[in-house]
Amino acid sequence: MYAWERMNMEIFFNPLSVAVVGASNNRFNLASTICGLLKSTGYDGAVVAVNPKGEDVHGCPGYRSVGEIPHDVDLAVILVQASSVPDVVRQCGEKGIRRLVIESAGFAENGEEGRRIQENIDTIAERYGIRYLGPNCLGTLSTGRAFCCFFGVWPDSPLMEIMRRPGAVSYVIQSGGLAGLVMESLLSDVVGINKVACIGNKADIDEGDLVTYFEGDGTEVIGMYLENVHRGRKFFQAASCAVKPLLVYKAGSTKEGVRAVSSHTAGMANNDVIFDRACAQAGIIRLRSIVELYSLPKIFVTMPPLKGKNVAVFTNSGAFGGISADFVAENGLSMVRLSPETKKKLRKAGHLFNADNPVDLGPGLSKQSYLDIYEILLSAPEVDGLLPIPSIWQDFIIDSLVDLLDICRAYNKPAAIYVPSAVKKIVAIREEHRLPLFESPEEAVRALAVSLNHFQNVAEKTSRRLSVTEMPDDSKSGAGARVRPIVPENEKSAGGKERVRLAAEEAVPYTERNAK
pLDDT of residue 497: 33
Give percent of the chain with pLDDT exceeding 70: 85
pLDDT of residue 476: 39
Residue 125 CA to chain centroid, in angstroms?
Answer: 28
Alpha carbon distance 29, 196 (integer Å): 23
Cβ(12)–Cβ(76) below 8 Å: no
How far, rounded to the nearest angstrom, does the alpha carbon of residue 64 sit from its chain's CA centroid?
Answer: 38
Of 249-253, 295-299, 436-440, give the lowest mean pLDDT range: 249-253
Coil, strand, or helix at residue 507? Answer: coil
Q: Alpha-carbon torsion 305, 308, 311, 312, what sign?
A: negative
203 within a domain of the structure (yes/no)? yes
Please give the residue that has the higher pLDDT: either 425 or 325. 325
Q: Which of these, 396, 393, 361, lies nearest to 376 by C-alpha position?
A: 361
- Name the DSSP class of 76: E
Q: Are residues 350 and 223 in the same domain?
A: no
Average pLDDT over residues 24-52: 95
Given this model, what pLDDT does residue 64 score? 98
Residues 251 and 197 in one domain: yes
pLDDT value of residue 2:
59
**Domain identity same for 432 and 508:** no
With respect to residue 47, please indicate whether it lies within any of the assigned structural domains.
Answer: yes
For residues 471 and 239, the answer to whether their CB atoms sit within 8 Å is no
Q: What gap in Å lies between CA 98 and CA 128, rounded to an integer?
A: 8
Is 91 a residue whose pLDDT tops 50? Answer: yes
Name the band, by pLDDT with cuts 50, 70 and 90, for residue 320.
confident
Residue 423: pLDDT above 80?
Answer: no
Number of H helices and number of E strands within the chain? Answer: 19, 20
In-domain check, residue 418:
yes
User: Do both 216 and 96 map to the same domain?
Assistant: no
Name the least confident of 120-124, 125-129, 353-357: 353-357
pLDDT tens digits along 355-382? 999 999 877 789 999 999 999 999 999 9
CB 323 within 8 A of CB 441: yes
The answer to whether residues 312 and 432 belong to one domain is yes
**First-to-last CA distance in the chain?**
39
Q: What is the pLDDT of residue 259?
A: 59
In a domain, 159, yes or no: no
- Decide if 3 is inside a domain: no
- 318 with 241, same domain? no
Domain that holds residue 451: 305-455
pLDDT tier at 422, thresholds 50, 70, 90: low
Residue 148 is assigned to a structural domain of this protein: no
Is residue 389 located within the same domain as residue 332? yes
Q: 318 and 391: one domain?
A: yes
Count the neighbouring beta carbons within 10 Å of the beta carbon of residue 45.
Answer: 16
Q: Is residue 468 part of a domain?
A: no
Q: What is the mean pLDDT of the chain?
A: 85
Task: Verify that 294 and 312 share a domain, yes or no.
Answer: no
pLDDT, tens digit (0-9, with 9 covering 90-100), for 43-84: 999 999 999 999 999 999 999 999 999 999 999 999 999 999
Instruction: Look up the CATH number of the domain holding residue 445.
Output: 3.40.50.261
Q: For the chain, how many structural domains are there in total?
A: 3
The answer as to whether 264 is a domain residue is yes
Rounded CA-CA distance 435/112 in Å is: 51
pTM: predicted TM-score of the whole model, two decimal places: 0.86
